[in-house]
Amino acid sequence: MLLERSPRCRILLADKGYDSDAIRRQIEATGAAPNIPPKSNRRWKPCFSPVLYKGRSAIERMFGRIKDFRRIATRYDRLATHYLAAVCIAATVSYWL
């Protein structure tokens, strides 16, 4: 699973789609604290920090800018190295302007 391959961290940010008890337990088992906004239908609302969650929006905006490049959004490249090069060029161009 993706959580098993993620690098070590103290706090893991995620959106409401990952708000389940099983995912929260798996995050806590790795030694990190989950900062996930609770779904509206939850009876017990776990601890959540909106201040820490705001840092996640910068990452979301970065992916949005990079996906403006059609080559990245549709993944034309077959090799991962070519795709990474295209992502690096797109990031450089989008943040240079």
Q: pLDDT of 38-49, one tens digit each?
A: 888 888 888 888
What integer pLDDT is reported at residue 57 of this predicted model?
A: 79
Q: Do 65 and 94 form a contact (C-beta atoms < 8 A)? A: yes
The pair of three-digit structure tokens given for residue 10, joined into one six-digit string: 């103290």
What integer pLDDT is reported at residue 11 of this predicted model?
A: 87
Question: Coil, strand or helix: which one is 20?
Answer: coil
Question: Coil, strand or helix: which one is 13?
Answer: strand
- Closest by CA to 47, choosing from 72, 31, 24, 79, is 24
Which residues of the chain, if any, have pLDDT below 70? 1, 97
What integer pLDDT is reported at residue 77 of this predicted model?
A: 83
What integer pLDDT is reported at residue 52 of this predicted model?
A: 84
What integer pLDDT is reported at residue 45 of this predicted model?
A: 83
What integer pLDDT is reported at residue 1 of this predicted model?
A: 60
Q: Which residues are within 8 A (CB) of 53 and not within 5 positions of it... i.e. 6 or more apart?
A: 13, 35, 37
In what helix (H) or strand (E) does residue 33 lie, and over which residues does it extend?
Answer: strand 33-35
What integer pLDDT is reported at residue 97 of this predicted model?
A: 60
